[in-house]
Structure 1
Amino acid sequence: MYEPVKSLGQNFLIKSSIVDLMVGSLDIVNGEDIIEIGPGHGVLTEALLHRISGRDVKVYSVEVDERFAAKLLGMYATEPSIEIVHADILKWLPTFTSDRKVRVFGSLPYYITSPILHAVIKMNVMPESAVFLIQKEVAEKVCSKVPDASYLSTFVQTFYDAEHLFNVPKMEFSPSPKVDGSVIKLTRKNIAMDHLSIERYEGFLHRAFSHPRKMLNKPFSKEELAKGGIDPKLRPQNLSSEEWLEFYGILHA
């Protein structure tokens, strides 16, 4: 058993019932690829492989820690349905391409949850769905709605329906983190946007939420708000992701 590296945010899920619930929440369809982020000791990996046994599904397990990558390579050297990738997930995701539909899965390091969510949305093949175990507070933020919307919830929910599935107490990890976790499920919406447009939209939302407690007449001009039919007295958290996308489309037509 390898010692966890604190700088990599390594807290490993140890309760089998939660592992089974997570794997069971992932919609697995023949002819698709699954990307597992941060397999660690392979607890989720093993459950996932059991679930796809005998099916036309390929798993890419991406692990940044060389020790665990080597361990998993040894465990699954003769398993054709899985490829162990030793890489930084934030550098690897932009390089991944496939002619099959993709789903993403994993217990994410809490400290890079937001960058991973952004990287998933910007993938060359936008995933059909994702099931993630993340920090409870961040899960609540991702799933928040008007009037408690945030930049993160608005960005994610533009492209995905976000569902909070269940909480995971911190004592179900080894070592135990300081806070509880939650499992969320993201299901893709029918939004077509290329990579450059997504980055522009991301910048647009950063502008909108740059002063979250201020009214929208702070980040936007009177002319822009009038063109979009937006009440200047509203605050950014008062608009839904659908309304933000429509406003973006009007200003960038």
Structure 2
Amino acid sequence: MHNTQMMHKPKKSLGQNFILSSHTAKKLIDLAGDLNGFNVIEIGPGYGSLTKEILKRNPKFLLAIEKDTNLIKQHDQLLGLYKGKYKIIEADALHIKETEFIEPPIKIIASLPYNISVALFLKWLDNIANFTNLTLIFQKEVAKRIVAQPHSKDYGYLSIISQLLCKVEIKFDLLPEEFFPKPKVNSSVITVNPLPLQRFEIDINALKKLVQVVFVKRRKMLKTSLKNILNSKYDIFKSAQLTGNERPEDVTIEQLCVLAVLFKN
């Protein structure tokens, strides 16, 4: 039994749901691999169940980022125990530059606050070269979008950018009972391993522009969504082995990279 009476009440506005079981925490951290010699970042450490397990694995240094002042006080004991190895800062993870506090190579291990999880993940993808790997808990619906393949309603911007840059896998699901307070949704643990080079050669900003344009109306055919910028001099669809009648969710990342040339400056 966990004594939740003694605990600081989580704030709904911050999307706080904390892992309670040390068994789950261990299982999650196992996925991050050896932490020895690595700098590690944890987002929203809450009551410290993940924090304790990370510190037991002897990282070079652990930086925890917490927005809730009241929760920081819960870490006094750990800070004393791991002096010089552990620091917790009060900040909004969305608005800090991680490398100002901690040097790469960095591993991120976090149960992400639901309300900022996608924005945070996209921010890290923009700076993916700083990270060795990321082991993250997302709402199950978001996790499905990250690993989605073509021909699926979950396939879109998040799947395409994630998979261009990284190998992403759902490792296991977590029930609401694993958290305090119990969320109304299931969660999934995802491992994110950055690729040494992006999967296909393309200017990533051009790809982002293309994906935003075509997925905004995902039921429309490509040739309709792109009609204003198609160059009649050459058949871009042919080079991507497409007809133009396809809907964006039926097009592979590789084919989208070919089409993205349209958006290169």
TM-score by length of 1: 0.87
Give the deviation of 1:249 after TM superposition: 4.7
Alpha-carbon distance, 1:71 to partner: 2.6
Other-structure match for 1:248: 260
1:19 match: secondary structure: helix
Q: Which residue of 2 aligns with 1:227?
A: 236
Whole-angstrom distance in 1 between the partners of 2:255 and 2:80: 49
Query: In the alignment, is the contact (CA less than 8 A) between 1:211 and 1:218 conserved in 2?
Result: no
8 Å contact from structure 1 (residues 38, 62) kept in 2: yes
The answer to whether residue 182 in structure 2 is matched with residue 207 in structure 1 is: no
Distance 1:2 1:94 in 2: 27
Equivalent residue of 2:54, what SS? Answer: helix
SS at match of 1:41: coil
Cα 1:204–1:187, aligned 2, differ >3 Å: closer, same or farther? same
Tell me, yes or no, if the aligned pair for 2:104 and 2:131 is still in contact at 8 Å. Answer: no
Deviation of 1:250 (Å): 6.6
Q: 1:233 to 1:124 in 2, by over 3 A?
A: closer
Q: TM-score, normalised by structure 2?
A: 0.84
**Where does residue 126 of structure 1 map in the other structure?**
130
Query: Partners of 1:153 and 1:198 in 2: how far apart?
Result: 14
Deviation at 1:32, TM superposition (A): 2.7
CA contact (8 A) 1:93 1:119 kept: no
Does structure 1 conserve the Cα–Cα contact (< 8 Å) formed by 2:65 and 2:88? Answer: yes
Letter in 2 for 1:243: Q
User: How far apart are 1:15 and its partner, in Å?
Assistant: 2.0
Distance of 1:35 and 1:83 partners within structure 2: 10
How far apart are the structure 2 equivalents of 1:20 and 1:171? 17
Deviation, 1:36, is: 0.8
Q: Say whether 1:26 aligns with 2:35.
A: no
The 1:241–1:73 alpha-carbon spacing in structure 2 relative to 1, beyond 3 Å, is farther
**Greater alpha carbon shift after TM alignment, 183-192 vs 38-47:** 183-192
Match of 2:193 among 187, 209, 221: 187
Q: Distance in 1 between matches of 2:39 and 2:68?
A: 22
CA distance in 2, matches of 1:32, 1:65: 26
Any idea what SS the aligned residue of 2:130 has?
Answer: coil
The answer as to 2:43 corresponding to 1:64 is no
Structure 1 CA distance for aligned equivalents of residues 80 and 224 of structure 2: 57
What is the rounded CA distance, in whole Å, between the counterparts of 1:66 and 1:200 in structure 2? Answer: 40
Give the SS at the match of 1:129: strand
Percent of aligned pairs with the same residue? 26
The count of residues paired between Structure 1 and Structure 2 equals: 247
Q: In the alignment, is the contact (CA less than 8 A) between 1:66 and 1:86 conserved in 2?
A: yes
Deviation at 1:74, TM superposition (A): 4.9
Whole-angstrom distance in 1 between the partners of 2:43 and 2:138: 12
Return the match for 2:168 from 140, 162, 172. Answer: 162
> Which structure 1 segments of 5+ residues have no match?
none
State yes or no: 1:35 paired with 2:49: no
Displacement after TM superposition at 1:11 (Å): 1.0
5+ residue gaps in structure 2?
1-6
Q: What is the letter of the counterpart of residue 60 of structure 1?
A: L
Choose 1 or 2 for highest CA Rg: 2
7, 12, 20: which one pairs with 1:14?
Answer: 20
Aligned to 1:110: 114
CA distance in 2, matches of 1:62, 1:190: 27
Partner of 2:4: none
CA distance in 1, matches of 2:258, 2:206: 14
Kindly indicate whether the alpha-carbon contact (under 8 Å) linking 1:12 and 1:40 is maintained by their aligned counterparts in 2. Answer: yes
Instruction: Indicate the RMSD between aligned Cα atoms, in angstroms.
Output: 2.5
SS in 1 for 2:231: helix
